[in-house]
């Protein structure tokens, strides 16, 4: 018996359980497709009749049967050696046939549990649990895959134990009916959560095409298509990769905003989204390190914004920052900010937020002096910052305008920047760094004396906390 199993056995008499038998197929369905592709490539010179007639048909069936049997045996062994166990203090997951992997998470350290459904898992009615644990910048444990009802029920049990409660569902039998009944309660509770924001499909698609990189990509693909139709040789070699790259980018944006909802929870916020692959993230407000509100050029005409956060332990699979609003109006931004950063350190929070995401130096903002105009002719009027009692708010950018909100107690470090052109005009920049992503506070091209005073004041705050 392994060390992890001994610890788990000593902690609780609850039995080890296995994941759903279809779990290996969710991970490895491409292997079966790959076998078919290899066969097709090796018989490319044969016709359909030659492939599936006579002795070749017999050998094809025999070879396919043997290959499929090997794959299924591997899937069975993978499923057989993957087990999990829930005790009063830990969640254990053991996996691996030749190379064993033993992972565990302390229940009292669990900050949130996300539910993910890749496309194949969604078709099979399965779901994956991803644990976000305190003192970890990323998810350290994943449990895949369970029936969706079982996953929801197990999530509720673990979160209630993390709060020091003993759920009644833990005493029920392990039947599917009991899991369905246990899952019905959290699903109903999730439906009752206050809705902070959602993204209509029309707004999502419109926002994707109202971005300069997307516009340039579409125009470039159309130009290459016209050249190809006009008979320009070799242009197809550039058109296909460009179309694939653009399609991948477009689908990623579409998937992250499709059916997007953001709801308030008892610990912070819960977001869900997905077209083919669905995701549900729980975001504890106490783990948010920084917030960014971005407004691309054409979005500003419509009053649209995007909100991202640096947050410990919860990330999307393909981004450093977690997107909590793909596109929304100011009211949606204000509601989300009220959950994730309820105290901006000022009395007139709504007015300060409106100034932060637009332009101007009202409500105490300090902007770049006019001598910064030759260095940033389009942006200098919009660059500004405000240090409140709790937060550093900074705004920068020209075509795509960005406002960053970094609480004082989340600042991990500062850096001073002053190039030769800035030095000659007595300007400087200050960057505030924090954990959980690449969002930073950026005081860009402000007066050098003001920047030095800000550094001294922020250093005092870092020492005092």
DSSP string, 46-61: S-HHHHTSHHHHHHHH
Q: In Å, what is the CA distance from 311 to each residue of 111, 329, 406, 458?
A: 12, 23, 12, 22
Q: Is residue 82 part of a domain?
A: yes
Q: Is residue 229 part of a domain?
A: no
Q: What is the mean pLDDT of residues 347-364?
A: 93
Q: Is residue 273 part of a domain?
A: no
Which residue, 276, 258, 252, is CA-closest to 123?
276
Out of 191, 213, 243, a domain closes at 191
pLDDT computed for residue 316 by the predictor: 54
Total domains in the chain come to 2
Which residue has better confidence, 235 or 461? 461
Q: pLDDT by residue (tens digit) across 23-72?
A: 888 877 777 777 677 767 666 666 666 666 667 667 777 777 787 788 78
pLDDT computed for residue 430 by the predictor: 96
- Do 182 and 326 sit in the same domain of this protein? no
Phi/psi at 364 (5° precision): 90, 0
- Do 164 and 298 sit in the same domain of this protein? no
Of the pLDDT bands very low, low, confident and very high (cuts 50, 70, 90), residue 22 is: confident
Distance CA 363, CA 332 (A): 22
Of the pLDDT bands very low, low, confident and very high (cuts 50, 70, 90), residue 392 is: very high
Q: Is residue 438 part of a domain?
A: yes
pLDDT computed for residue 173 by the predictor: 39
pLDDT computed for residue 201 by the predictor: 93
Q: Does pLDDT of 138 surpass 60?
A: no
pLDDT computed for residue 285 by the predictor: 82
- Do 163 and 299 sit in the same domain of this protein? no
Contacts for 143 with CB less than 8 Å, ≥ 6 apart: 19, 84, 91, 93, 128, 129, 131, 151, 154
Q: What is the mean pLDDT of residues 212-237?
A: 80
Which residue has better confidence, 449 or 252? 449
Q: Does pLDDT of 178 surpass 90?
A: no
Q: Is residue 221 part of a domain?
A: no
pLDDT computed for residue 170 by the predictor: 44
Q: What is the mean pLDDT of residues 336-364?
A: 93
Q: Is residue 277 part of a domain?
A: no
C-alpha 319, offset from chain centre: 6
pLDDT computed for residue 109 by the predictor: 81
Contacts for 35 with CB less than 8 Å, ≥ 6 apart: 64, 67, 68, 71
pLDDT computed for residue 146 by the predictor: 92
Q: Does pLDDT of 193 surpass 80?
A: no
Which residue has better confidence, 43 or 307? 307
- Do 447 and 307 sit in the same domain of this protein? yes
- Do 289 and 181 sit in the same domain of this protein? no
Q: pLDDT by residue (tens digit) across 398-437?
A: 888 999 999 999 999 999 999 999 999 999 999 999 988 8
Of the pLDDT bands very low, low, confident and very high (cuts 50, 70, 90), residue 171 is: very low
Of the pLDDT bands very low, low, confident and very high (cuts 50, 70, 90), residue 314 is: low
In this structure, of 53-57, 256-260, 293-297, the range with the lowest mean pLDDT score is: 53-57
pLDDT computed for residue 13 by the predictor: 59
Q: Does pLDDT of 440 surpass 80?
A: yes
Out of 171, 191, 211, a domain closes at 191
- Do 28 and 164 sit in the same domain of this protein? yes
- Do 289 and 180 sit in the same domain of this protein? no
Q: What is the mean pLDDT of residues 375-392?
A: 93
- Do 128 and 12 sit in the same domain of this protein? yes
Q: Does pLDDT of 96 surpass 50?
A: yes
Contacts for 433 with CB less than 8 Å, ≥ 6 apart: 411, 412, 413, 414, 415, 440
Q: Which of 120-129, 183-192, 295-304 has the highest mean pLDDT?
A: 295-304
- Structural domain including 118 reads 3-191
Q: What is the mean pLDDT of residues 331-336?
A: 95
**To the nearest whole percent, how much of the chain has pLDDT over 90?**
38
pLDDT computed for residue 168 by the predictor: 53
Q: Which of 4-13, 77-86, 239-248, 369-378 has the highest mean pLDDT?
A: 369-378
Which residue has better confidence, 180 or 197? 197
Out of 160, 191, 222, a domain closes at 191
- Do 125 and 19 sit in the same domain of this protein? yes
Q: Does pLDDT of 220 surpass 60?
A: yes
- Do 289 and 187 sit in the same domain of this protein? no
pLDDT computed for residue 333 by the predictor: 96
Average pLDDT, the chain: 82
Q: What is the mean pLDDT of residues 180-204?
A: 69
Q: Is residue 326 part of a domain?
A: yes
Q: Is residue 143 part of a domain?
A: yes
Q: Which of 87-101, 173-187, 279-293, 382-396 has the highest mean pLDDT?
A: 382-396
Which residue has better confidence, 312 or 373? 373
pLDDT computed for residue 71 by the predictor: 78
CB 292 within 8 A of CB 439: yes
At residue 91's C-alpha, the angle toward residues 87 and 96, to 5°, is 125
End-to-end CA distance of the chain: 46
Q: Does pLDDT of 163 surpass 50?
A: yes
- Do 319 and 179 sit in the same domain of this protein? no
pLDDT computed for residue 174 by the predictor: 44
- Do 173 and 58 sit in the same domain of this protein? yes
Q: Does pLDDT of 186 surpass 60?
A: no
Of the pLDDT bands very low, low, confident and very high (cuts 50, 70, 90), residue 250 is: confident
pLDDT computed for residue 54 by the predictor: 63
Of the pLDDT bands very low, low, confident and very high (cuts 50, 70, 90), residue 245 is: confident
Q: What is the mean pLDDT of residues 231-238?
A: 74
């Amino acid at each position: 018996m392994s060390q992890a199993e001994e610890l788990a056995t000593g902690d609780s008499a609850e039995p080890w359980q296995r994941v759903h038998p279809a779990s290996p197929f969710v991970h490895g369905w491409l292997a079966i497709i790959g076998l078919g592709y290899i066969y097709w490539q090796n018989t490319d010179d044969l016709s359909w009749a030659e492939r599936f007639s006579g002795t070749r048909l017999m050998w094809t069936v025999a070879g396919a049967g043997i290959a499929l049997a090997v794959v299924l045996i591997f899937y069975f062994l993978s499923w057989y050696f993957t087990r999990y166990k829930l005790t009063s203090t830990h969640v254990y997951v053991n996996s691996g046939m030749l190379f064993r992997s033993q992972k565990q998470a302390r229940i009292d350290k669990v900050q949130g549990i996300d539910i993910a459904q890749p496309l194949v898992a969604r078709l099979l009615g399965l779901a994956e649990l991803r644990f976000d644990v305190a003192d970890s910048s990323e998810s350290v444990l994943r449990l895949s895959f369970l029936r969706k009802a079982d996953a929801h029920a197990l999530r509720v049990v673990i979160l209630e134990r993390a709060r020091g409660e003993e759920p009644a569902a833990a005493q029920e039998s392990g039947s599917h009916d009991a899991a369905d009944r246990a899952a019905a309660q959290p699903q109903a509770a999730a439906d009752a959560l206050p809705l902070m924001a959602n993204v209509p499909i029309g707004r999502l698609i419109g926002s994707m095409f109202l971005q300069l990189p997307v516009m340039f990509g579409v125009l470039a693909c159309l130009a290459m298509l016209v050249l190809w139709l006009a008979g320009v040789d070799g242009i197809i070699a550039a058109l296909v990769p460009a179309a694939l790259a653009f399609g991948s980018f477009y689908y990623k944006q579409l998937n992250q905003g499709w059916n997007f909802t953001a709801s308030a929870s008892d610990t912070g916020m819960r977001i869900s989204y997905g077209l083919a692959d669905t995701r549900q993230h729980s975001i504890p407000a106490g783990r948010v390190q920084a917030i960014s509100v971005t407004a691309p050029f054409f979005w500003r005409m419509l009053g649209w914004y995007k909100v991202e956060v640096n947050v410990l332990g919860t990330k999307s699979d393909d981004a450093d920052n977690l997107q909590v609003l793909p596109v929304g109006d100011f009211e949606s931004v204000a509601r989300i900010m009220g959950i994730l950063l309820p105290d901006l350190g000022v009395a007139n929070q709504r007015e300060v937020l409106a100034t932060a995401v637009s332009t101007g130096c009202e409500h105490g903002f300090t902007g770049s002096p006019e001598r910064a105009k030759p260095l940033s002719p389009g942006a200098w009027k919009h660059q500004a910052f405000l240090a409140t009692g709790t937060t550093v708010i900074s705004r920068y950018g020209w075509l795509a305008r960005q406002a960053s909100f970094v609480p004082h107690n989340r600042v991990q470090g500062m850096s001073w920047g002053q190039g030769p052109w800035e030095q000659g005009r007595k300007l400087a920049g200050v960057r505030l760094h924090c954990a959980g992503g690449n969002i930073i506070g950026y005081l860009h091209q402000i007066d050098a004396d003001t920047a030095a005073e800000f550094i001294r004041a922020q250093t005092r705050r870092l020492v005092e906390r």
